[in-house]
Structure 1
Amino acid sequence: MLLHFIRADIHILVFLLVTLTSFCYVATSLLDTITSSSYILKDPETLSSNNTMFHLGFFTPSNSSTFTYLGIWYMSKSSLVWVANRNQPIKDSSSGHLKISEDGNLVVMNQQNQILWSTNVTNITSNTTAQLQNTGNLVLQENTTGRILWQSFQHPANTFLPKMELSTNEITGQRVKLTSWRTPSDPSIGDFSMSLERLNIPQVFIWRGTQPYWRSGPWNGQVFIGIPTMNTNYLDGFYLDGEGPNNGTYYLSYNYANTTMMYVLSPDGNFHETYWDYAKREWTVDWFAISSECDFYGKCGPFGSCDPTNSPICSCLRGFEPRNAQEWSKGNWSSGCVRKEPLQCDDRVRNNSRGGDGFVRLQNVKVPDFSQWMSSIAYDCRTECLANCSCIAYAYDSGIGCMLWTGNLIDIQKFSMGGIDLYIRVPSSELVKAFQNHVDDISQVKLQEHSLFELEKLATATNNFHSDNKLGQGGFGSVYKGRLEDGQEIAVKRLSKTSGQGAEEFMNEVMVMSKLQHRNLVRLLGCCIERDEKILVYEYLPNRSLDAHIFDPPKQKALNWEKRFNILEGIARGLLYLHRDSRLKIIHRDLKLSNILLDDELNPKISDFGMAKIFENTENEANTRRIVGTFGYISPEYALQGLFSEKSDVFSFGVLLLEIISGRKNSSFHENVESLSLLGFAWKLWENDNIRSLIDPEISDSSNKEDIKRCIHIGLLCVQELARDRPTMTSVISMLNSETVNLPPPKQPAFIQIQTMLDVESSLRNDGACSINYMSVTNIQGR
C-alpha cells in the first residue's frame, strides 16, 4: 500500500514536473524580445516571433556534432533562414548564449564569454532590446525611441524572405546581398552570392566569386524579362524601387499575402523558389533559376546564342561564325563567335541604296548583358541604333523603353516562350540571306532592314481578322485595325492570295519603307511572312484616307481652305523628302487621294509604296515595260512610253491638288458635256478666266481666293504634258509658300479629254508587254 502511494506520488510529481516544464518552455518560446536586464538565451532555449512562425535559437548542423550556431528557422530547424556566427561557430561542447552586452549590442558568446559574433553597432546607448519580428527579421532597437539600430534583413544569409530588401547603392557600392552556405551542412560563407546590379536597367546576378554565374535579365517594372516563367502570377509579389539620384539606392523585395514562399541560394549556386508544405511540414522546391546548361552565364560566349532544345545547344548569331572552329566543334563554346563581314556604317554606304546595315530579328530571347537604356518609343530604337555606328543591337520593352548594345553580345538565350525580340545589326548581305530563307518565291531581295511579326500575335491583335475590325477592302486584300499586347494600335494590311499586288510589290514596300522616316510618310512597323501570308503592319491613323473626306459631302465641310492647304503642303514635303532629302531617291508611282492617310490632327501621310521605285543617286529617269499605277494619275510619258521620273510624281501631285481644291475626281469626271476630264475642265476655265467655277463650294467663300487661285495655277503647271515643263517638288514648295514668286504661264495639260484617257487605258490593257495595275485602286476606310 505504501509502495502504491509512493508510486502514485511519483506519478503526480512527474506529471507536475512535465506540465511545469512544458509551460515554462512554451512560455519562453513564445517570448519574442530580449532585454539587457532580464533575458539571456541559452541552448536549447528559443525565441519565437509573435505569430510563432519564426524561431531563434542555437542549432547544430545535421552532419556536424561539434559546431554550434545561432540561427533563425521557419517552423522547424530543417528550414534555417539566417545564421549569425557563420564563420565563428561555437566549437566546444558547452552551450553558447545570446545576450545584450553592456554597450547595447547583441552578442553571441561561448562558455568562456568570448564574443563570437556581434551586431557591432557604434555610438549607441545600452538601453536596447532585440526582437524577432513576425517576418523573421531580428532587430536591435532603442527602447526610448524605437529606432532600429541593426536588423538581420540587412545582413542576410542564403535566404530571401518576404519583405526583405536586396539593395545596391550605385554611389557607394554598398550592397545587401545573399551568400550561399559552404556546403549543405556548413553554413559558413560559400562561393556564391546574389545581388542587384546594372542599375540603369536593374538585374539580379548570381556570382561565383567575382565572376557572373547567372542573371535574371532586365526588370521591366513587373517581371524580370530573362525569366520566362515569371508571369502575371508574380505581379502582386515582386517590386523594385529606388530613392532617387541623390541617394542612389535601389531595392528589390517581394510579398505574398496568401502563400508562404521564400527563395534560397544553394551551396551549388542555384537559386530556388520554395514553398512550405504544411502536410509534410517541410519546404518544397517549386522553381530553379538554373534548369539547363543555357542558364549559366555566357555559356555560348560573345555573339553566341544558347537554345536548350537544340543539339548542340550553342549557335552563332546570324552574320557570325565561331572564333575557334576546332574548339566549337568539340563543344567548347567559351570563345564565342566573330562577325563574318564588317558592318558598313559610314555616310557613303548609308546613302547608297544597294548597301548599308540593317537588323535581323531574334525572337523570344533573353537579351544580352550590358544594355544601355534610352527612353523612347519602339520605332525610335531602330532609328537611334542605326544612326550610331557603335550600336550593334537593340531591343524594346514597353515597361523599359529602348535597350541598346555597343559591346559584345553576351549571355543570349533562346526561349520557347517569353523573353522579347532582339534586333541584331548586320551588313546588307546578311539581310538578303535572312529574308530569302523566309520568302521562297523571290530570288533576289535588296532588303535593308525589317521587323517580322508573328502571325499568331497579329491574329490576336485583330481578333482573328474579324470583320468588325476591317477598315477597308481593296484589290490587294483587306486592312484591319488591331491592338498589340502593349496597347499600341496598328493597321494590318493582309494581301489576298489573288491580289494584283504579289510578292514583288510586297517586298518592294517592305524594302522601301524600312529605309524611310518622315512626318508626312506613313510608318511601316513591320511585316509577317509566315505560311503563305503576306501582311504589312503600319501605324494606325484614325482619320481614314483623304478621298474619304474630299469626296464625301458631309466631311467636305470640315475641310476649310486652311486645312486643305496644310494637307497639300504636307504631301509636297513628303514627296520632296522622297525625291531629294532621304538617303534614297524614291519615285512613288502611285500617288493618289486614297494613298494619303490623315492622322488625328488631319496631317497627311503618304502610304502604299508597293509600286515605288528606288533610283541610284546618278539616275534621273528609268524605263519599264510594266506600267503600274492608277488610272487618272499616271503621267503621259509613263503611260505611253514607260518612262518615269520624279516628274511622274509631280504630275500625280498636280492631279491630286486639283481634286482637293475642286472636290471632284479626275478618274470619274462626268460634269462637262464636252467630255472633258477634270484636267481639261480646269484648263478651259483657266483660259476663260473663270477659275472660280472650279473651286469646291465649301471653300469658294474663303477670304484666301488669291491663294486658292495660285494653287490652281501650280496644279496646272504640274500636269503639263511634257515632263521638262513641270516644276520639281522643290519649286512646288517654294511656289506654295511664296506670294512674291512670279509663276510662269501653264501650258495645256495632257489627257484633257476623257475619251483620250480611256483610249490610253484600253491600249495598255491590250498590250501584252505592259499592264496597268488597276488593283491598286482602293477604298480604305482609315488606318
Structure 2
Amino acid sequence: MSSAGDSLNPGDTLNSSTYIVSAKGKFALGFFQRIESATQNSYLAISEIADQSSGFNFFVWFGSRVNPIVNNSSMLTLDNKGTLKVVHQGGDPILLFSPPQPNENTVATLLDSGNFILKEVHLNGSMKQVLWQSFDYLADTLLPGMKLGVNYRTGQAWSLTSWLTELIPVPGAFTLEWDPKGLELVIKQRGVVHWKSGVLRDNQFENISPDITSMYEFNVVSNQDEQSFSFMYKNQSQKLQYWLLLSIGQLQNDVQVAIARADKCDGYNIDGGCQRWNQPVCRHHGDTLVLDRGHFVSEYDSSYYISDANLGFSDCEATCWGNCSCVAFNNLFENSTGCKFWTNISDFVANDWPYSEFVYILSTIKHSQSGKEKWIWIGTGITFAFVILACIVCYLRRKRKAVLQENKETDEETELLNLVSTDRSIDVNEVPNDRKKRPDVSIFSYECVVAATNNFSLENSSRSKLLDWKKRFNIIEGIAQGLIYLHKYSRLKVIHRDLKASNILLDESMNPKISDFGMARIFNQNELEANTTRIVGTYGYMSPEYAMEGLFSIKSDVYSFGVLMLEIVSGRRNNNFHHADHVLNLVGYAWDLWKEGEGLELIDPTIGDSCNEYQVLRCIHVSLLCVEDDAIDRPTISNMLSMLTNDSSQLPLPKKPAFSIGRKTTVANISKKELEVYTVNGLSISDMDAR
C-alpha cells in the first residue's frame, strides 16, 4: 500500500495506485476496484483499515457513487485555485468542490474520524474554516459524528441511502432519514415510509430496543441553522463503530445487531415501528412472495423482463407486488439487478437440481373460503344476538307491565313510556313555539323532558354506579380506537379539536361514539400541524399551543383525551373542579397526587370496589403524559393505547402538565365579586375573584 500521507496540498494529485491514510491509520482514501467483483468499475472511496495486512474491507463514503469509473486513469486533484475534483479519461470531471473565488490557501485532509475535509488555512497552517467535508454526503454508513437531518443554511439534506445490492454501491431503494417535525428516524423505500422509530424521549426511541439505545448518546440539534440527529458511543473502542443501512432495508450496527427491521414491514403489520401503506386490491394480508427452486418445463414460460441495471431485488419485489398479473419474480442479471417477472407458473416444477432456478413465487391465502367461513360465523352470531335480544325485550315488557300495575305510574310517566316504546317522532305542530319542520327529527316537548328527568332531579346521579371500572376502561379504549381511526386510518386525517365528555355518546351497550365534528379540521396525510387565528373549542380541554398560539395537530386531541381520561377516572369535570386547599384544576390535582404517590385518591368513590388499582394508576400516569406542556412530549393516540394495554411496557416519567392551575374560589357574596369574561366564538367562561 503506497501512502501519500494524510493530506493533499494545492497542485497535488492522487492516482489509482496511491492512497491517503489518516494520521492514526484508521481510514484510507483512494480508488478501489474490489467492490464490484463482476466488473472493473472503480470508485473514489474511504475505507476502514482494520489492520495493515487485511487492507481495505469496509467502505464508509464514496466520491463517485452514482457514476463509477470504468478504467484506471482516474486521479483526484486539488488545483491551485482550491478546486477538488476527479478527472479520468473518457468522461467529464467529477466535481467535489469549487470555491466561488480562487483560493490558494487550501488543504484536503483525511481525519481519523473518517471525515475527508477541504479546509482553508492561515499562512501559519492553522485551520481557518472548513469549505467542504465528506460527512455532508452520506452513503449507507452512519459514523459517530455524522448527521441526519437538514442544513437550513445550505439546503443540504443528510440521509443514508442503501447500496443497490450487496456488491454494487450505487444508490439503492432504501433511505434512512431524520424527521425534524416528528423527531424520529424514518426508513423509506423509494419515498414510501416503511418504518418509524417513534419519538426520541430520554435518550430512548419507542421502537428501538433499550438494550441497543443504552449503548449510545443521541444528540438532536434544533435551531435556525439546522435540524439534525447524530450519535456517539458511550464506550469508545478501537474497533470501528457505525450504523449500516443494508440493501434490503434493515438497519444494523457494527456488531450486526438489527436496530430497525424495515425488511419485515409488509404494509399491513405495525409491529416494531412498521407503517401501513396503500396496497393493491389484489393483495391481502398474509400473501407473501416465497423463495422456491425449480425449473419451467415449457419453453414459453409467460415471463417478461425489465432490463434496468439500476433496479435491485427490493425494486423487483415491489414491482411484482404492485402488478396484479405478476405471480413470481427474480433478478434478471447475475449481479442481482434487473427484473424478470412471470404471469403464469403452472408449468413450474420445484426441485433441487444443480441447474435449477431460484424464483420468488406468490403464496396467497384462500380468501374466498375464509370469507365464507367468516360469514357463517357472522350469521350465527347475528342469529344468536336476535335470540338474546328477543328474550331481553320480552323480559322488559313483562317487567314494565308489572311496574305499571303495581305502582300505578303517574300520567306523565305513562305518557313518556308510551312515547319511548313507540319510538315515534313528535310533529313540530304538537310542540309550542313552532320551528321550521325538519324530516326525520325527533322533537320532545318541555313537559316530556321534565317527566323523563323527574323534574330534573339529582336522584338519573346514583346511576354513576352502573359505570364500574371495567366499563369505564372499555370506554377509554373505545374513544382511543376512534381517535386512532380519525388520525391514522381514515382516508382523510381528521383533527377533532373539541374532544370532551359531552361529545362522547354511549349506546345501550356503553360503547362510546365520538360526536360533534362541527369544529373538526381535515389534514392531508403528510400534514403535521396547522395554525389559525380563530380559536374554537372548550377551555379546560384545549392544548396550550392551541389556546395560546392557534397551533393544532393530532397532539391537540391527545391533550384533550388526557383531560377526558382523568375525568373518567375521577368522575369529576375539569372545568367544574375546585379544591379547598389549593388553586388547582383537575389536571393539577391529579399531578400533585401522582407526585406524592397518592394517585388512588383521585378515583371516583363509586368505583372503588370494582377498580383494578394498577390499571387505574397506569391510566393516570398515561393521562399525565398526554397533558404535557410541549406537544412533542405527548405520545400519539396509538402509542398511548399501547401504553394502557401493554402492562409490560415501561412508561416515561411525566413532566408538570400545562394549565394545572385552576380558577380561584371563595365564599364571598356574589355581589362583591368582579366578573371577568373570556369569549371564544360564543363560548363564555366567567372567572370570579373577590375584591
Using the size of structure 2 for normalisation, the TM-score is 0.44
Using the size of structure 1 for normalisation, the TM-score is 0.40
Higher relative contact order (CA 8 A, sep 6+): 1
Give 1 or 2 for the bigger CA radius of gyration. 1
